[in-house]
Amino acid sequence: MSAADERITSISTYCWPELIPADDGRWKRGWVVRSERPVPNDYEIEELSRNLERRAEEQIRKTLGKHYKLGTLKLGFPTVEPIIVDPRHVVLWITTEHPKKASSEVTMLALIEVLRGFDELFGIQELQGLPKKYWMLLATQQKGG
């Protein structure tokens, strides 16, 4: 990675969306995504949401199930609400318990798995306006930078 790439990667830390209260008492972040392939139409949004939620739940159970009680894990299970802006842009509202109330590992894994799931389905070209290669949380999904 070049020095310029390293500086840009470090900037991505400051591009995280604000954590705001959700209507259900939990907390949410709105991630702005530019996809490589068109996002689904409104009819498929509910199915997309449930698939991304299930993926995150399964990975949380698999990765952290031996370290936390089920009640703690469930606090981090996400709710996903995609808002389609246009065929290539979507805001992914990801709601979990606040990292201070649940485990920060659980809530972080939920966030990562939702974004990685979206990336597998539609490809993430940009996240929060920065190219995907600068986001370390998506690094394991990248091939060749």
Q: Please indicate whether residue 42 or residue 92 has the higher confidence score (pLDDT).
A: 92
Tokens of 127: 């996240």
Q: How far apart are the first and last CA of the chain?
A: 9
Output the pLDDT for position 102: 66
Mean pLDDT of 27-46: 88
**Span 45-91, pLDDT tens digits:** 889 899 999 999 999 999 999 998 888 888 889 999 999 999 999 99
- φ and ψ of 10, to 5 deg: -65, -30
Angle formed by the axes of helices 42-64 and 104-122, nearest 10°: 130
**Span 88-141, pLDDT tens digits:** 999 999 999 887 776 788 889 999 999 999 999 999 999 999 999 888 777 654
Mean pLDDT of 18-30: 92
Whether the CA torsion 56, 59, 64, 66 is positive or negative: it is positive
What the chain holds in terms of domains, given with CATH numbers, is 3-141 (3.30.70)
Residue 145: which pLDDT band, with cuts at 50, 70 and 90? very low
